[in-house]
Each structure stands twice: as C-alpha cells, then as structure tokens.
Amino acid sequence: SNAMQRANREHLEIISLEEISMLVSSDFDLPEVLQHVTAKVATQLKVSVCNIYLREGDEVVLAATHGFDPAFIGKIRIKIGDGITGSVARDGQYISLSRASQDPRYRYFPELQEEKYNSMLSFPIGDKKEVYGVINLNTTSIRSFHEDEIYFVSIIANLILTAIKLRQQVASSRKAAEASA
C-alpha cells in the first residue's frame, strides 16, 4: 500500500539523516563527507546524479559527485548567476524542474553528456547571510520532485552547511594555535 511505502521511505530517510549527521560530526575531512553525502542522497531519492558545488569567490566548483566522473571534481566551475546552479547560488532559492534542459537558464556542459538528464532539483547550501554552495539532483526520467523530497534535501543542505562551518572553525582554531606556538 501507499501508506506502507511512505512509512518505509520515511524510515529510510531518518536512517540516511542519522548517518549523514554522524558523518558531519566525524573526523572525516570535508571532501570525504561530501562524497558520502552525494552517494546517500542519490540512493535515498533514486536519482542518477547528485552533485555538490562549493563557492570559491565568484564561482561554484564541483566538490563531490555521485553519477559523474570524479575526474570532474574541482574542474567544473560555474559563475555565480550563470545557469540554473549559478542562479541558485546567487539567489539562495531552490529551483525544481521536471524538464530542466528546456529552461532558458539551463547551461549545457558537453563534457558531462548532460543531455541524458531531464529533471533537476538545485538547492542552495547556506544561511540567511550567504550561500556556501549548491546541491543538485538530476534524473534521466521526467518527474517532479515532491514536497517531502525537497524537504529532505533542505535538511541535507543544512547538514552540509554544518559540516562546512565546523571544519572552518577547526581550521581557524588550528591556525590560531600555530600562530601562538
């Protein structure tokens, strides 16, 4: 039944969130945490691709991927405001599209063979003050992302934000300690 399926999915979502929470507070460095997150999100939401981009200056840079060649990590750079991902990075508002490639903001990366992907959810990783990155989901099927899936991704985005901020704090306190040594 539908209710059973839903209860099962919510149960699995809670397990995924617990696992990701544990990763966030673990000793893993950020690239490892993000890589685990992309795999868990892709599996949980049954999407072909999950990518995490992190902000560097006036660009977001691919930091982790499930579904793309990992050789693209650090190499795919999108200007803030450019394309769907860049718009989300600029505005801090998510964009959900069932036919992404037909959207006027869509940017095509030939090296990614992106034409296979239809539906897209692009969600900002940030707080009220600034955007630190973007998490993208892509599917080959044409589908709409449901409210509860978008809510799930919003929690993931918050956990990623926590992971980024925790590791920034650790790095800055380490620098301070070295400076005073």
Query: Domain coordinates of the chain in residue numbers?
Result: 2-176
Which pLDDT band, with edges at 50, 70 and 90, does 55 fall under?
A: very high
Average pLDDT over residues 151-165: 93
Checking 59-65 for CB contacts under 8 A at 24+ apart, the result is 60/85, 60/86, 60/89, 60/133, 60/134, 63/30, 63/31, 63/34, 63/133, 64/31, 64/34, 64/35, 64/37, 64/38, 65/35, 65/38
Is residue 52 within 8 Å of 63, Cβ to Cβ? yes
Q: How many other C-beta atoms lie within 10 A of the C-beta of residue 170? A: 12
The pLDDT, as a whole number, for residue 74 is 95
State mean pLDDT over 79-101: 89
pLDDT at 161: 95
In this prediction, residue 108 carries a pLDDT of 62
**CATH top-level class of 2-176:** alpha beta
Mean of pLDDT over the chain: 87
pTM for this predicted structure? 0.86
